[in-house]
Amino acid sequence: MSTQPDIETLAGAPAPVRKRGFGRKGRDNRRFPLFLVPVLIFYLLFFGYPLIRIFWQSVTDMGGTYTLDGYRMFFEEPAYWAVLGYTGLLGLITLTITLVAGYTVAYWLVRLEKTWAVILMAFVLIPFWSSGLVRTYAWLVILGRQGVLNTFLLDFGLIDTPIAFIGTNTAVVFALAYYLLPYMILSIYSVMNGIDRNLLLAARNLGASPFRAFRHVFFPLTRPGILAGSYMVFMLGIGMYITPAMLGGPNQTTLPLVIAIQINEAMDWTFAATLSVILLLVTGLMQLGANRFLDFERLWGGAR
């Protein structure tokens, strides 16, 4: 066993294991596994029904009569369009930042000596493994009015009054990118790690400059990692609730935030359901698009 770091394993997604060439396919049981029946009942009740219920709730009022008020409210009020736009924009900006930063770090790590790469990988994995709430709270501690950063700047006389970081777009974008960066690094790194270095040597041998070898050989091979990482970051980004709720202000309202407000404060189930359906449609469309060029078999641990 080499000391090669197996990032997919560390990140919890074991690398797909090649099946043994043992004529396994012919031996697969062709009956429907009956022990799946309770499993399916569980999924029907705790996953299927809630999703159907959201659709149904979005077209009925609290009394149970059919209504399209939820959708009318959404389409007639430009403020909600703005929320949808802001959510998508936040997702895209986060994606861009994590892609640039993540590719850089992954590229650097993959070229390092393996021992160093394993040690430095802890800097990615420890945040990846800790609670999102804790990590967001940490930014509150750092960026708050009496936070670490302001105290530091005041102590050194760089500013006279504390800067209000919380409630700005910058804080939300930064914290969101911070939260999602490990996903991107791990996706790209695991693909880069699997690339045969001899291909690059061959390109150099044939007279390609380092840049040309990178551009025409290495980079295209990292595409699956880029796609998988981008997909995850964007999907998770537009569904995030904690970060904008904790670090944003009234101008950083995202779709998940409005949904929570409708349930907890406005008690408007119909509208909450409508907004959930819209978020579901956005992610569903993304999923369809992603299916076309993403190898989910690989992404999801090689389960065939």
CA-to-CA distance for 274 and 266, rounded, in angstroms?
A: 14
Output 71 or 241, the one with its CB closest to other proteins: 241
Q: How far is the CB of 118 from other proteins (least distance, A)?
A: 11
Nearer to other proteins, 46 or 156 (CB): 46
The distance of closest approach from Cβ of residue 246 to other proteins in the complex, given in angstroms and rounded to an integer, is: 7
What residues form DSSP beta bridges with 60?
66
Which of residues 13 and 217 has its CB atom nearest to other proteins in the complex?
A: 13
C-alpha–C-alpha distance, residues 129 and 115, integer Å: 21
| Per-residue CA distances from 185 to 89, 160, 197, 261 (Å) | 21, 38, 19, 33
How many angstroms separate the CA atoms of 260 and 269, rounded?
Answer: 10
Check if the beta carbon of residue 43 is closer than 8 Å to that of residue 160. no
Comparing CB distances to other proteins, the nearer of 17 and 79 is 17
Write down the least CB distance from residue 79 to other proteins, Å. Answer: 19
The CB-of-7 to other proteins minimum distance in angstroms stands at 10
Chain centroid offset of residue 169 CA: 19
Residue 252 C-beta: closest distance to other proteins, Å: 16
CB-nearer residue toward other proteins: 134 or 158: 134
Q: Which helix (H) or strand (E) holds 149?
A: helix 148-155
Q: How far is the CB of 299 from other proteins (least distance, A)?
A: 9
CA distances from 141 to 128, 148, 165 (A): 19, 6, 11
CB 67 within 8 A of CB 58: no
Buried-exposed string 288-299: b where 16+ CB fall within 10 A, e elsewhere: eebeeebeeebb
Burial label, 94 (beta-carbon count in 10 A; 0-12, 13-18, 19+): buried
CB 188 to other proteins: min, Å: 13
Q: Which among 105, 114, 111, 252 has a CA at the least distance from the CA of 183?
A: 105
Nearer to other proteins, 217 or 280 (CB): 280
Rounded to a whole number of angstroms, the minimum distance from the CB of residue 110 to other proteins is 11
Of 19 and 72, nearer to other proteins (C-beta) is 19
Residues 12 and 184: their CA atoms lie apart, in Å, by 14
Closer Cβ to other proteins, 31 or 196, answer by number? 31
Amino acid identity of residue 239, one-letter, is G
